[in-house]
Structure 1
Amino acid sequence: MAEVPRIIDLYHGDSVTSFDAARTAGLQAVIHKATTGASGRDNKYAERRSAALKSGLLWGAYHWGTAAPVVQQIDNFLQFADPDKRTLVALDFERTRGNQMSIEQAAAFLKGIADKLGRKAVIYGGSLLKESLGNSKNEFFGSHRLWLAQYGDTPTPHKSWQDYWLWQYTDGGRNGPGPKKVPGVVGNTKGQIDCDQYRMPFAQLKAEWAS
């Protein structure tokens, strides 16, 4: 059996034909875009959540942060993503030209999620997160699990973290190492899928997933 990534992250622009086939091939979890900013909502989220859970996959929801008021973003995410105790929740902190979430807004979003859910969201980020945190160790951000975006063979987290929790190692194109393909998941129009690495056994992933 060909090697496949254990975790992938998706949005409405990715084509999925069979989560059953993906699970059989070795996929273990999906993190799907739920919302963007104060009002954006991914129209594939709900149906794919149901299908993925039915196939036995772990499910996660992420919010793409923007410059919109944080309270409105939190409300949009929680209302639409509707996370239960099994759902991983994550903030996607990346470059959004003309509508950029600040690092202060990111902190406010994370705090708001923790206040609402009683657990901390995962923070997704790469170069922007590193630049925004600067040269100092940030204990607040470091207390959240890091989903590191870095396409290359040597992932390097910001000094606020001793290590990453998840590593998005490729966008499925030329960038980053393999594996890059999953049976049942076509990906974007170029046939590419964002793939993520978790280094510990599945039992630990399952235990940590929505903690």
Structure 2
Amino acid sequence: MKGYRFALTLICTFLAVLAFVGQASEASAGEREPWNDPEYALIVDAYELNTIDWDLLVKDKRIAAFISKASDGLPESFTCTGDHAGDSVAHCKTMWRKYAVSRELFRTRRMVAKANGLLWGAYHLGRPGNPIDQANHFLDYADPQADELMVLDIDGMDSTQFMSLDDAQIFVGHIKERTGRYPILYANNNVAKFIGDHSSAYPVLSRLPLWYARYKPDVDGIFPMGNWSSFAMWQFSSADNCSLRRCPYRVQGTLTDIDVNLAPVTKAQLAKIWPQGDLLPPRLEAPSLIASAPQALPPTPPKAEVTALNYQDF
């Protein structure tokens, strides 16, 4: 009887293993997961109060950069007089302390990150409200240096929660006016696709380098999208697809579901282009080879025009 039970247990275990292997193979079929390529640089981005153990984080030599949340919408007044509807003096003072601590932490993080050889960047979460005031708020908060990346984060198309795309154009234009360079754009697939499909309506936004958020095993077939031939960075892991049991990529010293991003270049290549600041060239469509009616051949265009027609890589 014992031998029978042992044999039955062995068979059940074997079948369970086969089922697990089959499920794993099916889950990985067709999944590229390019973040597993050690040549690609990885970037961590975090909210202002996420805990970070820097001693552990810097042990991961794949991590090339750290991007921190800086400002969020319009600046607060923090007068704390109690004359604002629904706001008490005590609550105002509590929010002021949170703001002061987060700003001090931001500057400390920047110092620690750069001292450990990481590239540094900061982002502004765009909200409804005056875009010039928001741009000034970001610059005052982040105080971006020439070697640091600037980002405008547009999280969605709901204009009651997030900055409108028209205001986003004003925001990035003011950043350019004050700093001499443009930020890059963070957007999910819905926002990026809308901008890409309406690039003529958003001639500046559609030519900012794209930090693309999409939590899939790959983004094959997504690009080109409007003026974007590809992404500058891809946020492939976040709380949306990372849990205690499974996560695309774990970064020691951070929350289990910290945002992780991929740059399609090596760490050395990323360091050379990191601060960004320029608009992408417009992506030109190939000229049609089908004429609507027979007609005489036009004169040979000047050399500069021929060059422009052949410029299809963007």
Of residues 160-169 and 127-136 in structure 1, the stretch that sits farther from structure 2 once superposed is 127-136
Q: Secondary structure at the match of 1:116?
A: helix
- Aligned pair 1:174/2:241, yes or no? yes
**How far does residue 131 in structure 1 lie from its aligned partner after superposition?**
5.5
Of 49, 60, 75, the residue aligned with 1:25 is 60
Distance 2:270 2:193 in 1: 29
Length-normalised TM-score, structure 1: 0.86
**How far does residue 122 in structure 1 lie from its aligned partner after superposition?**
0.6
CA RMSD of aligned residues (A): 2.6
**How far does residue 97 in structure 1 lie from its aligned partner after superposition?**
7.5
The structure with the largest strand share of the pair is 1
CA contact (8 A) 1:5 1:179 kept: no
Higher relative contact order (CA 8 A, sep 6+): 1
Of 164, 169, 181, the residue aligned with 1:119 is 181
Distance 1:175 1:22 in 2: 18
Number of residues of Structure 1 aligned to a counterpart in Structure 2: 205
Q: Which runs of 5+ in 2 are unaligned?
A: 1-35, 77-98, 277-314
Identical residues among aligned pairs (%): 27
Distance 1:75 1:145 in 2: 21
Distance 2:41 2:271 in 1: 16
Distance 2:193 2:267 in 1: 33
Which residue in the other structure is 1:61 paired with? 122
- Aligned pair 1:161/2:228, yes or no? yes
Of residues 67-76 and 97-106 in structure 1, the stretch that sits farther from structure 2 once superposed is 97-106
Distance 2:45 2:154 in 1: 15
- Aligned pair 1:50/2:111, yes or no? yes
Q: Which residue identity lines up with residue 241 of structure 2 in the other structure? A: R
Q: Which protein is bigger by CA-based radius of gyration?
A: 2
Distance 2:226 2:180 in 1: 26
- Aligned pair 1:34/2:78, yes or no? no
Distance 1:134 1:58, change over 3 A: closer
Q: Which runs of 5+ in 1 are unaligned?
A: none
CA contact (8 A) 1:168 1:194 kept: yes
Deviations 1:139-180 (A, max 9, x none): 422321100011102322532311111000110553599642
Deviations 1:76-97 (A, max 9, x none): 1001100011110000011367
Of 192, 207, 212, the residue aligned with 1:148 is 212
CA contact (8 A) 2:196 2:228 kept: no
Length-normalised TM-score, structure 2: 0.59
| Aligned ranges 1:179-194 → 2 under 5 Å | 179-185=248-254, 187=255, 191-194=256-259
Q: Secondary structure at the match of 1:77?
A: helix
Which residue in the other structure is 2:50 paired with? 14
Of residues 94-103 and 200-209 in structure 1, the stretch that sits farther from structure 2 once superposed is 94-103
